[in-house]
A = this chain, B = another copy of it.
Amino acid sequence: MKIALAQLNYHIGNFEANTQKIIKTLEEQKAKGVDLVVFAELCICGYPPRDFLEYPEFIDHCEAEAQKVAAASVGIACIIGLPKLNPVLEGKDLYNVAYFIEDGKVKQTVKKALLPTYDVFDEYRYFEPAHEFKCVDFKGYKIALTVCEDLWNLGDNPLYKTCPMDELIKEEPDLMINIAASPFAYNHDEERIFVLSQNCHKYNLPLFYVNHVGAQTELIFDGGSLVFDKAGDIVHEFKYFEEDVQVFDVEQIKRSIVLNKEQVRQTHTEQVYQALILGIKDYFEKSGFTKATLGLSGGIDSAVVCALACEALGAENVMAVLMPSKYSSDHSIKDAEDLVKNLGCKSTIISIEEVADAFEHTLKPEFKDLPANVTEENIQARSRGVILMAMSNKFGYILLNTSNKSESAVGYGTLYGDMCGAISVIGDCYKTQVYQLAEYINRQKEIIPVNSIVKPPSAELRPGQKDSDSLPDYDILDKILFEYIELKKSLKDIVSLGYDEALVKRILKMVNQAEFKRYQTPPTLRVSPKAFGMGRRMPIVGKYLS
């Protein structure tokens, strides 16, 4: 039996494009003599469809598209994923299912049992879990077909009481197939490989695993589909961050002929770099946009975002806007101009002095002789926001946000100012990770001016301002933030690692008090196991460690 795994990039709710892509792949594989093509979880509608799942019309649409795929599956079998109405008036309205399609018909429906509700996932909001399990018979093979999370309980995952493979194995299947929608985080590919490999070990079966690739707003699916032999060794690891379709001979895999065992793993920084490129690219393509703008300060954050945008969209589609004020240092303009030269993107200089002065003059009767403070700093940041949005409105550029995760965590940024943008590119990268990205971008030649990397970070909103005036060094800050945000450690536990108690207290307080700001920030490309946004849901008007 020849089996093709199709790792494709879908678009949520874009039924026409998704179905077309699936049928085209089917036809190509049929021409190659393939017996079965496997597509990813919920490929019909894209993942995650979120509350569209509550619209009965959306569900009807999914079924209709699945029938189109079935009708096109003559002479070739396939597996597709879709949400399906629960016919019984008990439990949730829907199941998350895989259709096994053969001879133009849905031959078997496999329901997902383990429904993640942690982090970015909300599956139990919509889906009823499966309680019955049955293998699929196809061309003399017995296939243990499961959906994504169903392989994530090997019997020892406390989250789940069901272990679907423990049930399916009773039928003595010949192989496992899993269709997934497993989003990227820099450490997730290794977890994924480990868990899937453990399944092969435990059940002594080969595994064909198909993931999504492509970004859906903040969630980036990295692909990296996998084929394992029954010993749990990797037979083939698919491309990351690209569509990829590969054909396998099941007999060969069953005989455990390892073709490609030792793939060199990418560093986290390389992965994050590629993930962000894909995140930008798909945000634009799927929204129907081509051109981006951003404010270029001469600092490292906007430099990295600009370089990423040029790589993702083409330098000719990126408009960098330099917006000096009276507090901008000379080197900032020069560093920004050097970057533009290195990248070859478009740029323009728009001074904010006139508008900032106009605001101060307009507000003079209110503010009288009150001393300048954060108000005037915010006016500058917001004047830049208005200018960038005006460029966006007038010319159709989409504004990229350039805030990093460290700033976002402690609320070091101006709402409606530098926190503007359609999508936050590096908002899930701590400042120290931004430096790593800069070094990676400069791996072959200097693209980001070294001066942007080595100079002390500054928002340049008042004379001589430095980030270190109000924040601890990023080396320390980022470590404390990681302990609190990613690892959910307590104040006490973080202090016990050797950090100053008053400092840790101050930082945790800043994090909790900045929830109101983060609530209004753009969606953030998720590259870590715990990003701000849909995967971290905090009260705003709480009073805990704040």
Contact = CB atoms under 8 A, between A and B. Distances in A.
A385 B355 contact: no
Contacts of A55: 488, 490
A14 B373 CA distance: 31
Contacts of A14: 542-544
A374 to B, nearest CB: 6
A252 interface: no
Given A362-B355, A382-B386, A12 B57 contact: no
Interface stretch (A19-27, A34-42, A44-52, A223-231): A44-52
A363 B350 contact: yes
Between A373, A383, A521, A540, the greatest number of chain B beta carbons within 10 A of the residue's beta carbon is seen for: A540
Given A57-B491, A351-B362, A357-B358, A416 B422 contact: no
A475 B51 CA distance: 26
A217 B490 CA distance: 25
A359 B385 contact: no
A117 interface: yes
A522 B523 contact: no
Contact of A386 (B13, B287, B351, B386): B386
A89 B158 contact: yes
Contacts of A217: 539-541
A216 B539 contact: yes
Contact of A379 (B46, B386, B545): B386
A416 B389 contact: yes
Contact of A12 (B348, B351, B544): B544
Between A52, A382, A386, the greatest number of chain B beta carbons within 10 A of the residue's beta carbon is seen for: A386
A375 B390 contact: yes
A90 B162 CA distance: 11
B51 A91 contact: no
Given A13-B542, A538-B51, A367 B394 contact: yes
Interface string A352-364: 1011011101110
A451 interface: no
Interface stretch (A118-126, A306-314, A436-444): A118-126
Contacts of A287: 541
Given A355-B359, A362-B351, A12 B387 contact: no
Given A57-B492, A124-B124, A394 B382 contact: no
Interface in A528-544: 534, 536-544
Contact of A51 (B51, B536, B541): B536
A390 B415 contact: no
Interface in A385-411: 385-387, 389-391, 393-394
Contacts of A282: 541
B359 A52 contact: no
A394 B540 CA distance: 22
B543 A11 contact: yes
Contacts of A390: 359, 363, 375, 378-379
A300 to B, nearest CB: 25
Contact of A354 (B351, B352, B362): B362
Contacts of A125: 117-118, 122
A450 interface: no
A43 interface: no
A370 B395 CA distance: 10
Contact of A541 (B12, B15, B122, B158): B12
Contact of A523 (B17, B117, B519, B543): B519
Given A91-B161, A117-B117, A124-B124, A539 B13 contact: yes
Interface string A464-507: 00000000000000000000000010111100000000000000
A539 B420 CA distance: 19
A350 B364 CA distance: 10
Interface in A54-96: 54-58, 89-92
B389 A382 contact: yes
Contact of A375 (B358, B393, B537, B546): B393
B363 A378 contact: no
A520 interface: yes
Contacts of A15: 544
A259 interface: no
A137 to B, nearest CB: 31
Shortest 6 CB-CB contacts between residues of A and residues of B: A13-B544, A57-B490, A358-B358, A375-B393, A14-B543, A12-B542
Given A51-B536, A375-B390, A523-B540, 18 more contacts: A11-B543, A13-B539, A13-B546, A49-B539, A50-B538, A51-B538, A52-B544, A89-B158, A117-B122, A124-B124, A217-B539, A217-B540, A355-B362, A362-B387, A373-B394, A382-B386, A389-B415, A416-B420
22 contacts: A12-B539, A12-B542, A13-B539, A13-B543, A14-B543, A51-B536, A51-B537, A51-B538, A52-B539, A52-B542, A57-B490, A58-B544, A124-B124, A216-B539, A216-B541, A355-B362, A357-B358, A363-B394, A373-B394, A378-B393, A386-B386, A389-B415
